[in-house]
Structure 1
């Protein structure tokens, strides 16, 4: 399947959080294909360096724990003003209500929600000086489905949708577009650990399109929203779920 190339993305400075593996790695690969200047943040050093090597050095890896807000701000300061921010980093650790302590709550919110706001805060001034920009936040179908054992993750992902609307309003006058992409069940090495062949078949049966979603499907939507082709798109959710909902 061919990939749409958006000439306006060439040489744009793009930052992707959680870009070392899974959907994030697919996003890094897609923006490299667009000939953008790609930077990605992650805490998984081995996977991230392997990705840079696979891409022949056409992406820059920044080791950064996004729950450390000082490190986050310093990393963005080092990168400089950016044109595109993709807030992808998250972790869907399973838990029950009885598992949740105040410390676990704070840690999960820091992993899945807090850094999204502070990453936008870090890039917004630079985007304004560059005449605008695009921010794409990654949501999740999980809370729309009410899936089990994901209460804090789903709370965070629901919050990202609200945050997207609020920031689109606040940043719109500066020419900064803010959108949210909501993937369905995406086949990644992490997700594959939890699904048997029977589970995989059930996922496809519940979708209207009988295809398995892969990171490149999500990346196609994200690159569109980051491009000038989406110049009038902001404040909305864009679903890549093969019609699960």
Structure 2
């Protein structure tokens, strides 16, 4: 059995994760709690989120703070961040994970659809950063992890608006890393490959798709949420203290 790293610098650190109720986000919440961090998360799916809280309690992990919030509503989201920071203390780790990769055809994309997809896949990241930066500056620094996607590198079909948002995450992160580096705030990107969340398995994984994936990956294993969560832990911890403005691709060597 593999033994993975423990990061003493994460103990008691206040961490905020968006989209933490299921999939990759839920694994990130669990992994930070396992490091002894004080974890808060937001999600729109209250049922899945409360199930995660109960599952963590049954496993003996510290209970995370959960609040239902739609990250597309910037004012409500920033108010929620302030409320959770009031409970846990200023966040010195922010993980901008929330996203949706719904397929779409070019002809069906309207301005409203475009705006909503950008809101759920890009815009909330910026305004969450805006909300936590004052606390990070007061604390002497922090770590922000933004999520992109391998899909725009792979030119996946029927995902053009999603891919536009996820490509923009890279430029946004690098620009903000320059702006905030003088305050000791680090910003990095995690770019997951095809991660076997339950949603991906239920909606898109087929025997043919899995066979094609194994052909293009160097490492002939499917990736799962903990593979991403462990990268996020390292980026949040002091072990990566001089790493910023970088993009970490976790895809089994697909790109």
Give TM-score, length-normalised by structure 1: 0.98
How far, CA to CA, are the matches of 2:17 and 2:160 in structure 1?
A: 25
How far, CA to CA, are the matches of 1:148 and 1:244 in structure 2?
A: 16
How far, CA to CA, are the matches of 2:3 and 2:176 in structure 1?
A: 33
Among candidates 71, 74, 77, match of residue 72 of structure 1: 77
Residue by residue, what CA displacement relative to the aligned partner does 1:56-82 show, whole Å, maximum 9, x if unpaired? 152111100001111111111112210
How far, CA to CA, are the matches of 1:73 and 1:195 in structure 2?
A: 35
Q: How many corresponding residue pairs?
A: 245
Counterpart in the other structure of 1:17: 18
Deviation at 1:205, TM superposition (A): 2.0
Q: Does 1:241 align with 2:251?
A: yes
| Within-5 A mapping of 1:178-197 | 178-193=187-202, 194-197=204-207
Counterpart in the other structure of 1:32: 33
Counterpart in the other structure of 2:223: 213
Residue by residue, what CA displacement relative to the aligned partner does 1:162-199 show, whole Å, maximum 9, x if unpaired? 01101100110000000000011100111112111221
Residue by residue, what CA displacement relative to the aligned partner does 1:88-130 show, whole Å, maximum 9, x if unpaired? 0000010011010011111111111110100000000100001
Among candidates 128, 142, 160, match of residue 119 of structure 1: 128
- For structure 2, the residue ranges without an aligned partner over 5 or more in a row are none
How far, CA to CA, are the matches of 2:15 and 2:4 in structure 1?
A: 18
Deviation at 1:2, TM superposition (A): 1.6
How far, CA to CA, are the matches of 2:34 and 2:210 in structure 1?
A: 29
Among candidates 138, 153, 162, match of residue 144 of structure 1: 153
How far, CA to CA, are the matches of 1:68 and 1:98 in structure 2?
A: 27
Residue by residue, what CA displacement relative to the aligned partner does 1:131-167 show, whole Å, maximum 9, x if unpaired? 1000000110000111100011000000000011011
Report runs of 4+ in structure 1 exceeding 2 Å deviation. Answer: none
The DSSP-based 3-state class of the residue aligned with 2:16 is strand
Q: Does 1:58 align with 2:63?
A: yes
Deviation at 1:201, TM superposition (A): 2.2
How far, CA to CA, are the matches of 2:120 and 2:241 in structure 1?
A: 30
The DSSP-based 3-state class of the residue aligned with 1:55 is helix
The DSSP-based 3-state class of the residue aligned with 2:131 is helix
Give TM-score, length-normalised by structure 2: 0.95
The DSSP-based 3-state class of the residue aligned with 2:102 is coil
- For structure 1, the residue ranges without an aligned partner over 5 or more in a row are none
